[in-house]
């Protein structure tokens, strides 16, 4: 590992890898990413990979919309395979969410997102195996789907290496050395790396690193389970990606005959170094009936497997992408709750703009500052903010 770099990126999740690539693409090739374990070892490797545009804030919707273009054309624009599968996305909402839902759709349409409210009749035509009667509102995004989070991270990492960036694995950053109010070095398990610029993108571990630097940010790692059911492809060949706010469950197809299922309402704080990475049978029993209410054919499915991973929650369900106040040369990119993967291509772009040009221009990220918690200027929380954003 080299002992000097123009920029050090801390964390090899999809955000760190996207940042590393976008910096290199902008000419910052003397960049080094340090990763505690392996690329994708954090939230990224356990992500459900849903790619949809339905958000309640413009900043999240714009980040996702810009990212979709890249995820769809990943091989050509970055290299490698994003694993994007265009299944379409449907959101089902209960009566109490209808007002926010309609406002969100209008906002998304105003920025050009391909989404529309559909009638129950149209929803049945799009997804004939779905029960739709209990939803007060349904929308459809024909261009959405799902992709492969670790594959996207690896694609960015490989492309960044091709441009000259370097990656040091099994090498946790222990601290950031600050001298005279600016970054002097990143201290890692494998040695000191002299640098004047660093970005912390350490997912659920970011709060701990920031605490060492004197910042107490409201970043909470929470544990989320995911299960897979194996369905009969005769009775249910496939289905779109679904976010179901009526039954608080999301699901998507995986490969030819599996359905991935996750919850939209459970929040259990967890220690990132020590949490139960398996899905519990109580979760299977809780989720299965919920998904059957929307997809009755899954009643006959078989339980296949499950696991758990971590979100990095913030009080307003929005990430933190900013300069670190008071430490010249230090940046932070974290707090993506349960919806960061689909934004990662655009996040790498805006972070590289912030670091190289001093300002993000592709998407206005001024509402994602780390000072908003103390200032009380949180982003408005709409329904299911932690999951929908």
**Distances in Å between the alpha carbon of 245 and those of 36, 236, 249, 384?**
36, 22, 7, 8
- SS3 string, the chain, reads CCCECCEEEECCCHHHHHHHHHHHHCCCCCEEEECCCCCCCCHHHHCCCEECCCCCCHHHHHHHHHHHHHHHCHHHHCCCCCCCECCCEEEEECHHHHHHHHHHHHHHHHCCCCCEECCHHHHHHHCCCCCCCCCCEEEEECCCEECCHHHHHHHHHHHHHHCCCEEECCCCEEEEEEECCEEEEEEECCEEEECCCEEECCHHHHHHHHHHCCCCCCCEEEEEEEEEEECCCCCCCCCCEEEECCCCEEEEEECCCEEEEEECCCCEECECCECCCCCCHHHHHHHHHHHHHHCHHHHHCEEEEEEEEEEEECCCCCCEEEECCCCECEEEEECCECCCHHHHHHHHHHHHHHHHHCCCCCCCCHHHCCCHHHHCCCCCCCCCHHHHC
Kindly state whether residue 54 participates in binding ligand FAD, applying the rule CB under 6 A.
Answer: no
Which residue has the closest beta carbon to ligand FAD?
13
Kindly state whether residue 334 participates in binding ligand FAD, applying the rule CB under 6 A.
Answer: yes
Kindly state whether residue 35 participates in binding ligand FAD, applying the rule CB under 6 A.
Answer: yes
Kindly state whether residue 10 participates in binding ligand FAD, applying the rule CB under 6 A.
Answer: yes
Q: How far is the CB of 324 from ligand FAD (least distance, A)?
A: 15
Q: How far is the CB of 188 from ligand FAD (least distance, A)?
A: 7
Kindly state whether residue 65 participates in binding ligand FAD, applying the rule CB under 6 A.
Answer: no
Q: Which member of 92, 140, 205, 283 binds ligand FAD (CB under 6 A)?
A: 205
| CA separation for the pair 90, 87 (Å, rounded) | 10
**Count of Cβ atoms closer than 10 Å to residue 232 Cβ:** 13
Kindly state whether residue 46 participates in binding ligand FAD, applying the rule CB under 6 A.
Answer: yes
Kindly state whether residue 318 participates in binding ligand FAD, applying the rule CB under 6 A.
Answer: no
Q: How far is the CB of 59 from ligand FAD (least distance, A)?
A: 15
| Piece of 45-53, 191-199, 229-237, 293-301 that binds ligand FAD (CB under 6 A) | 45-53
Kindly state whether residue 209 participates in binding ligand FAD, applying the rule CB under 6 A.
Answer: yes
Kindly state whether residue 8 participates in binding ligand FAD, applying the rule CB under 6 A.
Answer: no
Kindly state whether residue 7 participates in binding ligand FAD, applying the rule CB under 6 A.
Answer: no
Kindly state whether residue 386 participates in binding ligand FAD, applying the rule CB under 6 A.
Answer: no
**Count of Cβ atoms closer than 10 Å to residue 164 Cβ:** 12
Q: Which is nearer to ligand FAD, 134 or 175 (CB)?
A: 175
| Piece of 127-135, 304-312, 357-365, 368-376 that binds ligand FAD (CB under 6 A) | 304-312
Q: Which member of 65, 84, 331, 341 binds ligand FAD (CB under 6 A)?
A: 341
Residues 168-187 close enough to bind ligand FAD by CB under 6 A: 172-173
Q: Which member of 7, 8, 9, 14 binds ligand FAD (CB under 6 A)?
A: 14
Taking the CA atoms of residue 162, residue 164, residue 165 and residue 168 in that order, the dihedral angle to the nearest 10 degrees is 80
Kindly state whether residue 313 participates in binding ligand FAD, applying the rule CB under 6 A.
Answer: no
Q: Which is nearer to ligand FAD, 223 or 372 (CB)?
A: 223
Residues 86-145 close enough to bind ligand FAD by CB under 6 A: none
| Piece of 39-47, 69-77, 133-141, 293-301 that binds ligand FAD (CB under 6 A) | 39-47
Q: What does the chain come to in residues?
A: 389
| Strand-pair category, 31-34 with 7-10 | parallel
Kindly state whether residue 253 participates in binding ligand FAD, applying the rule CB under 6 A.
Answer: no
Kindly state whether residue 338 participates in binding ligand FAD, applying the rule CB under 6 A.
Answer: yes
Q: Which member of 65, 92, 140, 311 binds ligand FAD (CB under 6 A)?
A: 311
Kindly state whether residue 260 participates in binding ligand FAD, applying the rule CB under 6 A.
Answer: no
Q: Which is nearer to ligand FAD, 15 or 183 (CB)?
A: 15
Residue ranges that bind ligand FAD, judged by CB under 6 A: 10-16, 34-37, 41-44, 46-50, 149, 172-173, 201-205, 209, 224, 226, 262, 309-311, 334, 336, 338-342
């Amino acid at each position: 590992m080299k002992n000097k770099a123009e920029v050090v990126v801390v964390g090899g999740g999809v955000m760190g890898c996207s940042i590393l690539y976008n910096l290199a693409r902008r000419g910052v090739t003397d960049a080094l990413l340090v990763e505690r374990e392996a690329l994708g070892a954090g939230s990224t490797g356990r992500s459900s990979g849903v790619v949809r545009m339905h958000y309640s804030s413009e900043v999240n919707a714009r980040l996702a919309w810009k990212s979709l273009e890249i995820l769809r054309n990943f091989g050509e624009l970055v290299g490698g395979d994003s694993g994007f599968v265009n299944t379409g996305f449907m959101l089902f909402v209960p009566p109490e969410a209808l007002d926010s839902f309609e406002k969100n759709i209008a906002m998304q349409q105003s920025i050009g997102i391909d989404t529309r409210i559909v009638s129950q009749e149209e929803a049945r035509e799009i997804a004939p195996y779905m029960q739709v009667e209990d939803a007060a509102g349904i929308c459809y995004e024909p261009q959405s789907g799902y992709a492969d989070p670790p594959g996207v991270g690896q694609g960015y990492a490989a492309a960044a290496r091709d441009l000259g960036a370097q990656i040091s694995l099994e090498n946790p950053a222990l601290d950031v050395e600050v001298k005279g109010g600016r970054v002097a070095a990143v201290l890692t398990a494998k040695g000191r790396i002299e640098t004047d610029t660093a970005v912390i993108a350490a997912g659920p571990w970011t709060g701990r690193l920031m605490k060492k630097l004197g910042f107490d940010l409201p970043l909470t790692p929470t544990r989320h389970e995911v299960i897979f059911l194996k369905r009969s492809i005769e009775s249910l060949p496939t289905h779109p990606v679904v976010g179901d706010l009526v039954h608080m469950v999301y699901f998507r197809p995986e490969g030819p005959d599996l359905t991935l299922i996750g919850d939209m309402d459970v929040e259990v704080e967890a220690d990132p170094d020590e949490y139960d990475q398996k899905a519990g049978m109580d979760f299977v029993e809780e989720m299965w009936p919920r998904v059957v209410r929307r997809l009755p054919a899954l009643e006959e499915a078989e339980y296949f497997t499950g696991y758990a991973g971590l979100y990095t929650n913030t009080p307003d369900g929005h990430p933190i992408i900013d300069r670190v106040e008071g430490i010249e040369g230090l940046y932070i990119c974290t707090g993506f709750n349960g919806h960061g993967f689909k934004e990662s291509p655009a996040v790498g772009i805006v972070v590289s703009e912030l670091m190289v040009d001093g300002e993000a221009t592709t998407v206005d990220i001024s509402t994602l500052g780390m000072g908003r918690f103390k200032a009380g200027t949180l982003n408005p929380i709409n329904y299911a903010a932690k999951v929908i954003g």
